[in-house]
Structure 1
Amino acid sequence: MKFVVYALLALSSLIALGGCAPTVILGGAAIGGVAVAEERSVGTVIDDATIKTQVMNAIFQKSEPMFTSTSTTVIDGVVLITGEVPTPEDRITLTRLIWGVKGVKEVHNEVKVANGESVGNFASDSLITTKLKLQLLRDAEIMNINYSVETVDGTVYLMGIAQDEAELQRVKNHAKDISGVRKIVSYVKMKSELNSA
């Protein structure tokens, strides 16, 4: 059972990096291809994948239900975790687990305490995320590969690297146009911030 879980963790990390099946098939070569296409270096992409795998493993070891009800995104050592847990104590536990992983620079815990509406919300949230990803993919003025999107209870969480404020505003405008979006929370950094760091 553990082998299957670790294999799934590694597989999901690779899928998250590229967002498509060829990433899984090509393995390490695909990671390099993604890094060339986006603003992060190959080393940073690999470091982020390692952090994500370790975070997911730590959560799984603590609680399988917590593992299945949360989603993790890592960009440049910054971790965004979304989803639902039964108690406020679980939210605190998640934060502690994430900070326990080497290489984590910042944690954004956007996990909500469950209110009993999760099944209906999950379908609606998944639809919002899918629609926004498609809009970003279709917009030639947005480097969509630099963005990660998560939706929880109608709140869209954006993470990634924007070329400039105008590009980020385009992303937010696409999100605003989707039915069911209640709020947009951005953890997006500007490309200029990365270059000056």
Structure 2
Amino acid sequence: MRLELALALTVMAAGAAAAQVTNLETPGNLAPSVDPGCVTMSGADARLSPPDLALGVLACGRAANWDAAAELYTLMLLRAAFDTKRVADASAHQAGDVLSMQLADSLTEADRTSLGAALDRFVDPAAAQRAVFCQSAMTSAVPQHDPSWMVQHGMGAFLKPAGDGLIEGFDPQQAWSALLRDDLKCA
């Protein structure tokens, strides 16, 4: 009986290993539209999407400017969170997490350690860098980037619903202010 069970499990495992996995993607899914280079928070145009900012993080990393990379990474996450508030398709909302994982995968272990150390410095509430970031974020324009990078990540992109994929009546100023106040804890 045990031998039969072991054989059955082996056959099932072999079948699973041979199974084909198909990854379907739509055009624009997690796609950047411009490479901003290593820009500062104050130089990060409101039209830069999270995938654009991810390229900026990589550029800062190549220049070993990890404090700037940490700022852009934080801005990338904030703008992704902003998009989860305005994109209607809940299945698209993990796009920011996937983008963050892709970014981490493109860094070496040493680079991930350097970015992590810079982020640790950045999240310190007493850090001057954080205060400057908050001030810049509060006085800069509300994000104006195209959210298609996230819209195209969800199941709605395959089902082709009518409309632009955004929540009707969305208030961008209120959403951005709430993110800065509640998530980033900017005063």
Query: Please, what TM-score do these two structures have when normalized by structure 2?
Result: 0.28
Which structure carries more strand by proportion? 1
- RCO higher in structure (CA 8 A, sep ≥6): 2
Query: Please, what TM-score do these two structures have when normalized by structure 1?
Result: 0.27
